[in-house]
Amino acid sequence: MKKYLKGISISLFLSLSMIFVLSILVSNTKFSESLIKPATMIITFISIFCGAYSVSKTKKEKGIVNGITMGIIYVGILYLISVILNYGFYLTLSSIIMIVIGMIGGLIGGVIGVNF
């Protein structure tokens, strides 16, 4: 469990850092607002990948399971925060895509973490 907390911490820190940079870019440049959603999905993928890599690197086994678990936990935390802030949970196509991105990012990070 301690390894997952470390992975989640890494993922959340990376997400917050990259979203902060994205917000500066959007507000200070001519960065198209239509690119915010894809950029957020890429940020989520990278963050989950790094967290899953960290977890699997230290565990040295079951990279796929650890990575997918990391992705599901991370996306679950995002949706918990979303429910609290938006007073409701809505499962949309975008939500499903985010869950899949989380699982794929975790899977790839987990496999690479075990093998390196």
pLDDT in tens, 4-24: 888 899 999 999 999 999 989
DSSP 65-86: HHHHHHHHHHHHHHHHHHHHHH
Q: How many domains does the chain have?
A: 1
- In order along the chain (116 residues), what is the average pLDDT of each group of 10 residues? 86 94 88 85 94 86 87 89 77 86 92 89
Model pTM? Answer: 0.87
**Domain limits for position 15:** 2-115
Q: How far apart are CA 62 and CA 111, in angstroms?
A: 8
Q: How far apart are CA 63 and CA 7, in angstroms?
A: 13
